[in-house]
Amino acid sequence: MALLVAMVESYECLGVVRVVDSRKALAEIFASPSFLEDLMGLLSDLSKEGLMTNILEIKE
């Protein structure tokens, strides 16, 4: 979970991570629609590196 938080927050204005349940490794990421494509790219790259990501919902 710490890796996800660090990666998202290291990119200026990409998004803000809120840990919902650390035991279940469940987090919400709040991002501007203008950064959604960049955020999705980062999550895809992290998934390729072995960080399991499941996107449950995208709200606009």
pLDDT in tens, the chain (60 residues): 888 999 998 988 899 999 999 999 899 999 999 999 999 999 999 999 998 888 888 887
Q: Global pTM?
A: 0.83
Quick check: 23 and 33 in contact, CB under 8 A?
A: no
Where in the chain are the domains? 1-9+25-60
pLDDT score, position 57: 87
pLDDT score, position 15: 93
